[in-house]
Structures are given as structure tokens and as C-alpha cells.
Chain A
Amino acid sequence: QQPVQSPQAVILREGEDAVINCSSSKALYSVHWYRQKHGEAPIFLMILLKGGEQKGHDKISASFNEKKQQSSLYLTASQLSYSGTYFCGTGVMEYGNKLVFGAGTILRVKS
């Protein structure tokens, strides 16, 4: 079942902060975050694993609430280069290494 991302879209000015949420109805083993710019492939930003391990981008942080099956991506002091569509991908133990992706959040940073 596809995780729910919110908001669907957000517009920021440079320097502002944003939070993107990802919520699943399944018990999660991992949450991945990716960013896709128009016409390009998605690129990896962050992985959060059950138990607290994180691996990812220096300027982006995220949280993973295992009990609520929720993750949030925090973009601080946004830059023009942050514009794109953000996807969360959720990993469930019984699915092995497959991910189920959300519909995406469109982020636009204006100068």
C-alpha cells in the first residue's frame, strides 16, 4: 500500500525551511528519501533504518518514528537547488528489499 506524502506541493523563498511528511499503514523497516529534478533520474538523499541508523545527505535531515510508521524530511535554509519532487520509499520486512514509493511532494524554491 502506497505511503501518503504531505504536502502535495509547497513553494518557498530561498532561506526558508520546509518539512515533508511520509506516513504508512504498514510496520516499516526502512524509509528512503529521493529527489527528482525535472527530466532527470531520482537521486538518493537519505535512508533511515529501524533502530536509528541513518545515512545520507549532509544538509538534509530526517526523522523516523517507528511506532507511528512516519518519517519527516527537514529542509533548512532552502536553496534554489532544492527545487524538485521528493519521494519517500518505504521498506517493509516481508517485502525484502523492495520499496513502495509515495506519490511525491513538489517543492519549488523561489529567489
Chain B
Amino acid sequence: DVKVTQSSRYLVKRTGEKVFLECVQDMDHENMFWYRQDPGLGLRLIYFSYDVKMKEKGDIPEGYSVSREKKERFSLILESASTNQTSMYLCASSFEGYEQYFGPGTRLTVT
């Protein structure tokens, strides 16, 4: 079974802190994704990576950056956390354009 793991299920940070969310997949997928999920808005793509060190902006990249140094690991970075970044963050991976496998999510609260 494909497994996508995320570093934390719950995280509480203060405004202005630098926040790292990590995602690891074990199926050698070249594609990895970071989404943000808010009630009534569905899943919105923050960033996408199709290979090591390669990244593309999604629909809402402002305030976020990403890093992919190894194929299995994709990190989301909030350079200076703000309260409007309080949300559920989901990581996913896929082989080409086929089904995406999601991690359990990280609920981030910024106070």
C-alpha cells in the first residue's frame, strides 16, 4: 500500500514564526502536492513538484514556499506564519496524472 505520512497531525504556532510541514511518500512517485483545505472551499493547491528540486506554483502560493531535495520528501514552509494561514494542510503524491494518495493532514493553528 502507498503510504504518505506527514510530520504532525496538530501544530500550534505563533504569528511571525517560521513553520515547516514535512511530507514523505514511500512509492517512488515523481509528483507531490501540497493542498490547503478550508470549509466550503474544497482542496486548494499551494505548490506542486514533479521532480526533485522542481516546483510549480499552485492556485494560492502567496506566503508559502516549498523544498524537494529528495524524491520521497516534500516540505512546505511558511516563512512568517499569519493567522489567515490557520487551516488543514494535506500532502499528496501520484504517479503521472493518476490517482493521488493523500496523507492524514496537519491541522495548523496560528495564534
Contacts and interface: CB of A to CB of B under 8 A. Distances in A.
Asked if chains A and B come from one complex, the reply is yes
A70 B103 CA distance: 28
| Interface of chain B: mostly helix, strand, loop or mixed | strand
Interface in A34-51: 34, 40-44, 47
Given A41-B105, A98-B58, A91 B97 contact: yes
Given A41-B90, A41-B105, A97 B44 contact: no
A30 to B, nearest CB: 6
A91 B98 CA distance: 10
Contact of B96 (A32, A43, A97): A97
Contacts of B45: 98-101
B43 to A, nearest CB: 4
Interface in A79-96: 87, 89, 91, 96
Nearest to A44: B99
Interface residues of A, number: 24
A101 B100 CA distance: 12
Interface string B69-111: 0000000000000000000001000101111111111000000
A69 interface: no
Nearest to B90: A41
A102 B42 contact: yes
11 contacts: A41-B90, A47-B98, A87-B42, A97-B50, A97-B94, A97-B96, A98-B45, A99-B45, A101-B35, A101-B42, A101-B44
